[in-house]
Amino acid sequence: MLGVSLLIGLHAAWTEDDDPVPPTRAEAEAVLDETVRYARSGAYTLLCEAIADADATCRNLVESARQSGWAPTQDRPEVVGVRRSGLSTVLELRGTRTDGSTFTSDFAVVRDHRGLRGSTPIYWSGVTIVS
């Protein structure tokens, strides 16, 4: 199983418009719901553009998951925990991929001048965050 770990630190380039308040659990789950809608339709490019705080990182996670033969099912992953990591709210997820393999991953959501954004939106890739 491909284990992808990301080191998520403080976002370095805060602007005057950025709100350093971590998202609430409800806000993070709303971002997850929107991400799942994109994933269900296979619109990964749009997912990265609309959700990700770093488009290039998102695209790399999509490509890594694709190379591993991993794709999300139509089911929303289960939220099994929630925690803070710096200014992120992290939803701890558990789910199943289309090949039947299971995953656990961290779905991090931040608030910046663009609104709520996902740092690790490719939830089926098994991304874990090291704080």
Res. 11: pLDDT tops 60: no
Has residue 2 got a pLDDT over 70? Answer: no
Domains, the chain: 21-130 (3.10.450)
Global pTM reads 0.84
Residue-wise pLDDT tens digits, 14-60: 444 555 799 999 999 999 999 999 999 999 999 999 999 999 999 99
Mean pLDDT (the chain) is 88
Residue 49, number of CB atoms within 10 A of its CB: 13
pLDDT of res. 15: 40
Q: What is the pLDDT of residues 58-70, one digit of tens each?
A: 999 999 999 999 9
